[in-house]
A and B are shown apart, each in its own frame.
Chain A
């Protein structure tokens, strides 16, 4: 117990608490601006943490990322522009609620269930981290291949409209991901001799283009109809959440658990966790038809999932020194600079450090509630500004955000191209979300696919030879078969229904 007391002593100091507060505000700010991600918040914090002791340094990063992942929901809900990719999975539902005049319902659910997911993930991190990490360690390229395919399949089947259109969207994203030098043979692909394209299609400008610029273009076209910002009621942000907790306890728990597990897998972070959880929620829902129309259920599950994943990602990072996502990859670098080598030995040599990290996680996730409330109160004012005034400013934010990734106007070119693509896609009822996921996971899919093919000498049977791989593979194929089975069942149902009256 003295270890825990030591750890608490490290955390509960005025300086550390001040750092937590400041980085929370910073995380909220960065996460709430479309185009700036939680990863970017971490990267920007690193130079500042160089001047800190290990505990406040880690506290700053943990707090900022947790806040940024939640804050990404705010512009997603109010403006349909997910502030971070982890919010993209359920942005449709959240925005639909805003359109119905109930942004508080969406934001309240995001906030409360983000906090719940984060705390759940932390508890798992504390109790079961060695076990989970050991399972993840056994994964080879085959398991990763299936995991990515599963994530992508879910993205296609959760998208509104027909799966064929979802597939087209996915291929646009996957194809964009093949651009550049980053491939197994290191050969330039689709770069047309352009040096900037050799680095590949940057995710952030593409996301800003697809999600935000297409919306700006649409706003300019439909100026005549002049959409008034939806009136916001005076309902409390937290009040509805008790009802939600009673109504969707299973969803919250499942989202937290699945998110934590996915986060613990190296390479799979909050983004993929949110997508899979949203899909799972839809599949098991009693009212799947309500998803995408402003239904809180998916928000509850995916919202707890992405914050669970944020905590879960630290499991392999702390226990084995393998980053669970890009954020923990940066963290591992910081820890090395501080003279702490993450791995099993830290648990033996510096247990108070590990416990301090656990305490920081709990503090950050609890502080999210009051700070998030403040952020929502502030951000809601955005809606009271008329769209015609807001859209030009948003356009400027988009351009600066796209520029900021590489400090080059090439990002704005990319943003423009993807803005037009996104606009045309939406005009044709092609969902945008699968394209985003294809772009993010494309490189990982390719790497694991090609590695697996080389290892197996081109035999597909090898993808099912390892037990976990086989399980994941069969599960993925089952996901593919589901719409087909549903179609057959519906036909059968319609057949009996139409034959009944004649009887």
Chain B
């Protein structure tokens, strides 16, 4: 997914305007002219200028809207599916690890991720198990990160 300079300029300009409008409601320090809105307004101003610069440059170069070039991989259904898979796996970890515990979720997520990448089961299963255990031991035990416990495997903590 690649946008052209013109589209990028328009998006930047709109983003700058949006920041500016949203920053108008921010309070100043009592008794001062400056406060919470100062910095966002400054960012908005320079963002707008950058957007205008990009638009002018693109128009001078003869670009036209809509400008969106699709990368080669976007035509490949399998590639798109793999991209969706990795995002879904992250989501699954976020939602399931507090319920199922770290070890169970981590093994499942890594195993599925490797299967998506077509790693053979003979390799994927032991690697996922060892990696999950290693991470749990180093982060959970050594660095005292309270990784969510697995209800099925309480003896490892």
Contact = CB atoms under 8 A, between A and B. Distances in A.
A416 B90 contact: yes
Contacts of A187: 26-27, 35-36
Given A184-B35, A185-B27, A416-B87, A409 B114 contact: no
The listed residue with most A CB atoms (<10 A of its CB), out of B46, B93, B102, is B93
Nearest to A446: B39
A388 interface: yes
Contacts of B89: 395
Contacts of A167: 46, 50
B145 A388 contact: no
Contacts of A403: 145, 147
Contact of A404 (B12, B110, B145): B145
B109 A178 contact: no
Q: Chain B interface: which size bin?
A: 35 or more
Interface residues of A, number: 56
Interface string B71-107: 1010010111011011101110110011000100010
Interface stretch (A136-144, A268-276, A448-456): A448-456
Contact of A220 (B54, B86, B91): B86
Contacts of A453: 33-34, 38
Given A178-B40, A396-B110, A407 B145 contact: yes
Contacts of B6: none
A397 B98 CA distance: 17
Contact of B98 (A164, A217, A221, A409): A409
**Is chain A's binding surface mostly helix, strand, loop or mixed?**
helix
Contact of B38 (A171, A397, A449): A449
A222 B79 contact: yes
A276 B28 CA distance: 33
A424 interface: yes
B93 A189 contact: no
Given A171-B50, A400-B145, A220 B83 contact: yes
B116 interface: yes
B65 interface: no
Contact of A428 (B8, B19, B39, B42): B8
Given A395-B113, A396-B109, A403-B147, A164 B54 contact: yes
A185 B36 contact: yes
**Is chain B's binding surface mostly helix, strand, loop or mixed?**
helix
A178 B19 CA distance: 11
Nearest to A26: B142
A413 B114 CA distance: 22
A427 B117 contact: no
Nearest to B131: A393
Given A392-B110, A396-B131, A216 B86 contact: yes
B39 A178 contact: yes
A221 B127 CA distance: 22
Contacts of B153: none
Nearest to B31: A454
Interface string A376-409: 0000000000101101110111011001100101
B50 A221 contact: no
A447 to B, nearest CB: 9
B21 to A, nearest CB: 13
Given A168-B50, A407-B146, A185 B29 contact: yes
Contacts of A44: 143
A293 interface: no
A216 B110 CA distance: 13
B34 A454 contact: yes
Contacts of B86: 216-217, 220, 395
A458 interface: yes
A445 interface: yes
A400 B147 contact: yes
The listed residue with most A CB atoms (<10 A of its CB), out of B80, B117, B118, is B117
A175 B29 contact: no
Contacts of A428: 1-3, 8
A388 B117 contact: yes
Given A393-B131, A403-B147, A450-B39, A388 B114 contact: yes
B26 A185 contact: yes
A185 B83 CA distance: 41
Contacts of A409: 94, 97-98
Contacts of B35: 183-185, 187, 450
24 contacts: A164-B50, A171-B16, A171-B43, A174-B39, A184-B34, A213-B90, A217-B83, A221-B82, A223-B82, A389-B123, A392-B114, A396-B106, A396-B132, A396-B135, A399-B90, A409-B94, A409-B97, A413-B94, A420-B87, A427-B1, A442-B39, A445-B39, A446-B38, A446-B39
Given A171-B12, A458-B33, 14 more contacts: A167-B50, A183-B36, A185-B35, A187-B35, A213-B90, A220-B83, A221-B79, A224-B79, A393-B110, A396-B131, A397-B135, A400-B145, A450-B29, A454-B33
- In the A-B complex, the 3 residue pairs with the smallest Cβ-Cβ separation, listed nearest first, are A392-B113, A185-B35, A185-B36
Interface of B: 1-3, 8, 12, 15-16, 19, 22, 26-29, 32-36, 38-40, 42-43, 46-47, 50, 53-54, 57, 71, 73, 76, 78-80, 82-83, 85-87, 89-91, 93-94, 97-98, 102, 106, 109-111, 113-114, 116-119, 123-124, 127-128, 131-132, 135, 139, 143, 145-147
Interface of A: 44, 164-165, 167-168, 171, 174-175, 178, 183-187, 189-190, 213, 216-217, 220-224, 386, 388-389, 391-393, 395-397, 399-400, 403-404, 407, 409, 412-413, 415-416, 419-420, 424, 427-428, 442, 445-446, 449-450, 453-454, 458
